Amino acid sequence: MTKSIVLLGSTGSIGTQALEVAKHLGIEIKALSAFGNHKLLEKQCREFRPEKCWISEEHYQNLKTALADTNIKVLTGNEQLCALASETDATLVFNSLLGISGLSPTLAAIEAKKKLALANKETLVAGGSLVMKAAFENKVDIIPVDSEHSAIFQCLQGQQKPEKLILTASGGTFYGRNRASLENVTVEETLKHPNWNMGAKITVDSATLMNKGLEFIEAAHLFSMDADKIDVVIHRESIIHSMVEFTDGSIIAQLGSHDMRIPIQYAITYPQRRSSLAKKLDFTAIGVLNFAKPDYENFPLLKLAMVTFNNGGIMPAVMNGANEAAVALFLNKKISFNNISDLVISATENIRNKAINSVDDIFEADLQARQYVYSKI
Ligand code: MG
């Protein structure tokens, strides 16, 4: 089992829960990193005593001064972030960075043959083919942390390749609403997710169904499945976290309370299991589980992701970059909720597709998509 971890993105929702789990399991923290929240990172450093920590240049001096009385090495810059993931004797690199910023550290960890727990779905959306090729060549296990992908990963242990993956979706904050009624929804309303306690960006993605679209692409790469072998089913209760169907018609599902600490812990203890901090399920209290078709018309980004995956090339990176930019603008109250999908769709229609030959092509596509979105505001 994992004895020590490098945790990238330790101050976000997944990062803080990963630290809770690490503490519960008695796992050593070798390094921590965060982009903006230097106060929380300092607190985490004092509690978990890593050898190193990393922060963005903007907050570097603050953190260095704050930790001057410790022997924790404070680092900054993209090269050092990648070094954190690759030059380590930790048994697991846990990547819970947000967005495209997770791509370079993911590749660095894989090239250094580090076992990788991946919560950073944008890495696989934008750079899936490069990342999976590198993982295959370096014989690196990528253990998914996203609840749906952890579910599928768990269902597939000891199994042959399935016929179909069935991704479940909560439907997000605005399930059942039509597009016209969403024109004036506020950021505050959007962030009230019915089931999951998550960061702001993913909660907005969940409300637009972009999150399920990103997860669709993530699943296609992780489990090397064709797009027509992945179904999405709305399941409002978020009790079944996803399913796999085999050729004999058998379906295996993974169930559990909607608590991210379960998939986080499984990624850390895999292939073993330990008692967890999460509440156990009580079926008699749940009573009924419901399923429905996704509403592709009022929430067009799920379908867009499916089409974009099939188009391949830089298009998933364009979609992801445009979405990151649009969601940030929405969270800063610069655009409306419906503008998010308008801008993402428009970016994929107006930027010309091309093949990905290197990681630079991905960053270029990402930048192009962001610039496109900003140019429309
Ligand atoms: Mg998920």
How far away, in angstroms, is 46 Cα from ligand 1 center?
A: 31
Condensed to tens digits (0 to 9), the pLDDT of residues 297-356 reads 999 999 999 999 999 999 999 999 999 999 999 999 999 999 999 999 999 999 999 999
Residues 128 and 153 in one domain: no
User: Each residue of 140-177: pLDDT tens digit?
Assistant: 999 999 999 999 999 999 999 999 999 999 999 999 99
The structure tokens listed for 40 are: 């929380």
- How many angstroms is it from 215 CA to the middle of ligand 1? 7
Do 305 and 158 lie in one domain? The reply is yes
- For residue 361, the domain's CATH number is 1.10.1740.10
Nearest one of 335, 342, 300, 305 to 320, comparing CA atoms: 305
- Indicate whether 260 pLDDT > 80: yes
* Cα 201 to ligand 1 centre (Å): 12
**Ligand 1 centroid – CA 188 distance (Å):** 21
Residue 194 has pLDDT above 90, yes or no: no
Clarify whether residues 250 and 194 are in a common domain.
Answer: yes
Q: Let me know whether 192 and 326 are in one domain.
A: no
The model's pLDDT over 219-241, given as tens digits with 9 standing for 90+, comes to 999 999 999 999 999 999 999 99
Residue 199 scores a pLDDT above 90? no
Helix, coil or strand: residue 8:
strand
- Residue 147 CA to ligand 1 centre (angstroms): 5
Is residue 293 domain-shared with residue 358, that is, in the same domain? Answer: no
Residues 100 and 31 in one domain: yes
Same domain, 137 and 174: no
Domain encompassing residue 359: 312-377
Are 237 and 167 in the same domain?
A: yes
Q: What does the pLDDT average to over 186-207?
A: 89
Residues 189 and 291 both lie in one domain: yes
Same domain, 304 and 337: no
Q: Are residues 227 and 370 in the same domain?
A: no
Q: Is pLDDT at 50 greater than 80 in this prediction?
A: yes
Cβ of 65: how many Cβ atoms within 10 Å?
A: 12
Same structural domain, 174 and 316: no
Distance CA 187, CA 201 (A): 11
Give the CATH number of the domain where residue 102 resides.
Answer: 3.40.50.720
Q: Is residue 279 over pLDDT 90?
A: yes
For 225-259, give one letter per residue: b (16+ CB within 10 A) or e: beeebbebebbbbbbbbbbbbbeeeeebbbebbbb
Q: Which of 272, 294, 311 is the last residue of a domain?
A: 311
Q: At what angle do helices 121-137 and 103-111 cross, to 10 degrees?
A: 20
Question: Given 282, 311, 340, which residue is the final one in a domain?
Answer: 311
* Average pLDDT along the chain: 96
pTM for the whole structure: 0.96
Per-residue pLDDT tens digits for 280-303: 999 999 999 999 999 999 999 999
Number of folded domains that form the chain = 3
Task: Among 311, 341, 357, identify where a domain stops.
Answer: 311
Say whether pLDDT at 196 is over 90: no
Query: Which of these, 46, 47, 57, lies nearest to 80 by C-alpha position?
Result: 57
